[in-house]
Amino acid sequence: MQGRVVSYVNITSVRVEDGGEYECHARSSVGIVSHAARLNVYGLPYIRPMKDVSAVAGESLMLRCHVAGYPIDTITWHRGQILKHLIMHIS
């Protein structure tokens, strides 16, 4: 195929936190296309340190916990004990 180009991303010493979605975008004078793929890195779970948060009484609050690693079997939240009645979204 004429005009074929192959582009690479090289990651040396892959770490759990390198896992996630990677996208490749190709652009020409005719347009742009992209494709995404997920890199799953097997290893111990990694949690990005969370920052302290302030809230106003009576208002809603969303705490985020960025977790990396594969596979992640469960994520639980604790405040002295396991918090059971949470509305939790994992994406």
For the chain, the residue count is 91
Work out the angle at residue 35's Cα, subtended by the Cα atoms of residues 31 and 8, and round it to the nearest 5 degrees: 100
Please, is 19 exposed, middle or buried when counting C-beta atoms within 10 Å of its C-beta (0-12, 13-18, 19+)? buried
Could you report the per-residue pLDDT of 1-10, keeping only the tens digit for each? 577 888 999 9
Q: What is the pTM of this model?
A: 0.57
- φ, ψ for residue 21 (rounded to 5)? -90, 130
H-type alpha helices, 1-91: none
Could you report the per-residue pLDDT of 13-41, keeping only the tens digit for each? 999 889 889 999 999 999 999 999 999 99
- Between the CA atoms of 65, 48, 77 and 74, what dihedral angle is there, to the nearest 10 degrees? 90
